[in-house]
Amino acid sequence: MSDSATTDHATTTGMSHNKLAMWVFLGSECLLFGALISTYLVYRGRFADGPAPGDIFDIPFTSVSSFVLLMSSLTMVLALSALQRGDIRNNRLWLLTTALLGSLFIGGQVYEFTTFFREGLGYTTSPFSSAFFTLTGFHGVHVSIGILMLMSMFISSLRGTLRKEHSETVEIIGLYWHFVDIIWIFIFTVIYLVPSPTS
């Protein structure tokens, strides 16, 4: 029912319900991350007796994983354009690539969290650590949900049920995916690129 071919002419704005809903939802998400980023900004210097952000961040490593996540936006675009052309094979390939790049990013995050934990930065160490893990954790959950959606698309494609006329569904997932990427650019800038306090 949410197929673009049938809804485009039926809605007042011309945009399908699903796509409009996604835009509105992403607007809401901006405030969610806005509040989390503000919390982090308040607390980045409050590391109590624990490690300070400037002590433990591994900026080259996180830059690489950020690059991986940004590349996944490119592959997401390729996946969508392949489907819009009716190129099922390439669509499938790029969907999988996007999901894999996303997973690579999540893997990097898990590695980073583990390393930090070993270096003495637990979730309950300080306001800084709580804010850091909460913000990046929320982002990680968002990426993971994106990966789940991409993999559902991929499986549908394998079953032969993802066809050209469903490109809007992929487009909407793409909107979500790009949003999560853009948010990461903000988070990466705020957490890692802005010089962090050291102890």
Partner 1 sequence: MTETTTVDDVVTQPLGVYTRPRGGTGWRDWITTVDHKKIGILYGVAALFFFVVGGIEALLIRLQLATPNGTVLGADMYNQVFTMHGVTMIFLAAMPLSAAFANYLIPLQIGARDVAFPRLNALSFWIFLAGGIVLNLSWVLGGAPDGGWFGYAPNTGIVFSPSAGMDFYALGLQITGVASLMSSINLTVTILNMRAPGMTLFRMPVFTWMMLVTQLLLVFAMPVIAVALFLLAFSRLFGAKFFDPAVGGDALLWQHLFWIFGHPEVYILILPSFGIISEVIPTFSRKPIFGYSFMVFSGIAIGFMGWGVWAHHMFVSGIGPISVAAFSLSTMFIAVPTGVKILNWMATMWGGRIKFSAPMLFAVGVVSMFTIGGLSGVTHAISPADTQQTDTYYIVAHFHYVIFGGIIFGLFAGLYFWWPKVFGHMLSDLVGKWNFWVMLVGFNLTFGPMHVLGLQGMSRRIDSYSPGFGFELWNMVSTVGSFLIALSVAIFVINVIVSAMKARGQAPCGPDPWDARSLEWLTPNPTPVHNFDEIPVVESLDEFWHRKYGTDEDGRIVRVASAEEVCEDGSAVGVHLPSPSFWPIVFASGLPFIALGLIFNLWLTVPGGLLVVMAIYAWIFEPVDDPDAAHGDHDDHGGDEAAADTTEEAPVV
Q: Which long-range contacts (CB under 8 A, 24 or more apart) does 142-148 make?
A: 142/29, 142/180, 142/183, 143/69, 143/102, 143/105, 143/106, 143/180, 144/102, 144/106, 146/102, 146/173, 146/176, 146/177, 146/180, 147/99, 147/102, 147/103, 147/106
Find out whether 190 and 36 touch, Cβ atoms under 8 Å.
no
Q: Give the single-character DSSP code of 161.
A: -
Taking the complex as a whole, the smallest distance from the CB of residue 110 to partner 1 amounts, in Å, to: 18
Nearer to partner 1, 108 or 191 (CB): 191
Taking the complex as a whole, the smallest distance from the CB of residue 71 to partner 1 amounts, in Å, to: 22
One-letter amino acid for residue 33 of the chain: F
Nearer to partner 1, 9 or 118 (CB): 9
Taking the complex as a whole, the smallest distance from the CB of residue 183 to partner 1 amounts, in Å, to: 13
Interface positions with partner 1 (CB under 8 A) = 1-3, 6-7, 10-13, 15, 17-22, 24-25, 27-29, 31-32, 34-36, 39, 42-43, 46-49, 123-131, 134, 145, 149, 152-153, 156, 161-163, 165-166, 168-169, 172-173, 175-176
Nearer to partner 1, 65 or 76 (CB): 76
Taking the complex as a whole, the smallest distance from the CB of residue 64 to partner 1 amounts, in Å, to: 28
